[in-house]
A and B are shown apart, each in its own frame.
Chain A
Amino acid sequence: MKYDDSTPGRLGAFRPTRRQFVTGLATGGAALGLGLARAPASAGTPARRGGAALVTGTEFALDIGAMPVDITGRTRPAITVNDSLPAPTLRWREGDTVTVRVRNRLRDMTSIHWHGILLPSNMDGVPGLSFNGIAPGETFQYRFQLKQSGTYWYHSHSLFQEQAGLYGALIVDPREPAPYHYDREHVVLLSDWTDLDPAALYRRTKKMPEHDNYYQRTLVDFVRDARRDGLAETIADRGMWGRMRMTPTDISDINAHTYTYLVNGAAPAGNWTGLFKPGEKVLLRFINGSAMSYFDVRIPGLKMTVVAADGQYIHPVSVDEFRIAVAETFDVLVEPMGQDAFTIFAQDMGRTGYARGTLAVRDGLAAPIPSRDPRPLLTMADMAHDMGGHGAHKGMEGGCGAMMGEGGCGANMGAMDHGAHGATSNAPNHPASEAGNPLVDMQSSASEPKLDDPGIGLRDNGRQVLTYGAMHSLFEDPDGREPGRTVELHLTGHMEKFAWSFDGIPFASAEPLRLKYGERMRMVLVNDTMMQHPIHLHGVWSDLEDADGGFHLRKHTIDMPPGTRRSYRVRADALGRWAFHCHLLYHMEAGMMREVRIEA
């Protein structure tokens, strides 16, 4: 049965003169994969050699257009920049003033947002907050000075254009050499592609949010679990989830049943390849430019040393695997040797598919592709349910699931009175706007920072997995002040309605969060949903605090797994109206967004 609303609607603006086909992305990735070889810390201008064109300098012209692409074997409409998907990799230099002229050749309004870049509000590229957007046929000139260096990315901030292909890598070379040595570098831009019109995918998700969850627990699973754990425990477990009207297999909303996962625009069969010479130190700039997909990344046979997060240097951490939330970037050093080829394996968090590329000594090589890990199941502990006031169980890892003897595990539903749970020290003060709110289907009752938790599906997997706790900024808190006040916001949602919000109030009805220019404030986020949300604040850094409230890690996107409470410091040194939102594109569009207004 064909999806009746998957017809190319909004993107069907092909012009005969532009009827070029970006073909071969499904199979031709290797031909594009010559890497971005360059001398380290040089200001040289490598030629176009990556999966996307590489453009350097201070003056740029970007042409946003609609174009058919073939990612999956079907020709589908996409949005491209300079006829490229992903958009060209831009290479800037710290301290430079860059000028980017963006021309809109679409039939719709468009925009480009420079993710994580500090700049004046009117250059931030959010229609309705920063500027009016770029009308069809118009050219908008972005111009700003770069106050930072590192690996970033850019993308459209207009409706679903990011999902349709409007995203690209952004590298800002530092004025001072990086505090580590490398011989060669590659951008590894991960993303998710759908053949559907993204607006139709949104409508589908509103009608049936669980559309892609073909992993729900079945009668067959029940029989298996009853044999293994006993009938009474299995019934108790199903009962807890049933009372909450939730399913523990909801790891991601949209998965490989809809998406094809890409490395630098190449599907797994295309095998994007980055070259190395044995003995070289290779810097991999990982960027998650997905609309909705978290990835767990590893390179079997190689240790990875993470040296920067969200563009900012950290104390090096050596790991086997890392989870990259949507919109995050990690710079990773590897020293491939002993094999001619290594697989870059990025399975989605729900274990439904993977993106894949290869590091190799020459094109055309491949290494074995690992099998996907088993699918994780959410537990009540993941969602910070303190088992209905059974305080003794607090913090029990993997807890409530099958071990919970008495009822009550799933008792913390929206309409419940949480007064009874006050005993736990970390019982959050839920905002009044959540109580009885039809858009809030769940609240956590014992949320914790969980900075040292590798996360759902990554615990005890025999590999050393990156955590927020293991990453420390390489510098002291550049501001140094204690926050003068604390603002707590809860991430809220309703799975069945696919409704998402902060404090139960969707963007359309929310007042801006007002900050005073110059103030240092503490943002506390509490995840009251069963999903994981990458939260991005435009314009200023989000300085993640450790569990004791100290400066820990400078980021632009803070990942919020279910059941977490995390705090970060914000230095309000950028006037203007800034977007603050979940970077899962469809969560943002469904309302998980606020305006943060920094006023004089």
Chain B
Amino acid sequence: MEILGQLLNTTLVFSTALIFAALGGIFSERSGVVNIGLEGLMMFGAFAAAVGGYYAQEAGMGEWAPWVGVLSAMAVGVIGSLIHAVASITFKADQTISGTVINFLAAGSTLYMVKLIFDGSGETPLIDGFSKVSIPGLSKIPVIGEGIFNSYPTTYLAIILVIVIYFVLFKTPFGLRLRAVGEHPSAADTLGVNVNKMRYVGVMLSGMLAGIGGATITLTTTGTFAHNTISGQGFIAIAAMIFGKWNPLGAFGAAVFFGLSQAIRNYVQLFEWSKSIPQEFIFMIPYVLTIIVLVSAVGRSSAPKALGEPYDPSKR
């Protein structure tokens, strides 16, 4: 039982970054802008969190330093996403291409700046990240207490955001407009919604959230930023978003699923029966399962209808 609680806890640690980034992806894609650049936006966030957190720590901010890291990640994530927004919305560039550009610029510029700021070092100095916070009372519940209510503050934030964003998207006028712009931009335009403005908002929110996602990795897992800090997490977040059918709750489920599979790696060696299975097959499980689940249950994808199409009022 104890191990189950620990497994759940580790699962959430690995899921948190994916949840943030997938939520970001949902904002962008629900507004009709493909965001292949989540990987790069996470990289920007992870970098900014490491640098911002480092300087805040140097300035003696103690426990608040990681939060400065999160704020820097949000800001840098938004700036990064603006490149994507300008290219794909204003200049009507192919959205897949401009998302790829974000990945490229992020990989290049973050390491360039790390080397510039820290005298040629390929890695930022190690900082103290967040520590786990147990919620009084709730953390005493068996399994769930250890698993959920003794987590990093970012994990709590992620779970709260899933619910908040679900309501924002599906129960508020803003959410309705955002989705309308992604489904049928010309109709939304006729009703007086500023299509391009909504899309800018969607993309910038995606940059902000993916930035926090990246920050989560440096501030809870690695403690530093280097070239391999993100390595594919952004693409997994995209998968989680599609897997979750562009719905915050679905994406949350998918992110936890991927987090679980990463966590299983840490625990699988503990059991006698699992030692005989080659480790590669255990590593493969989540990816194979994803495909199987997609084939058997989920079926046709339900992407926003106008996803990937720049809005051109003259073609209405």
Instruction: Determine if chain A interacts with chain B.
Output: no
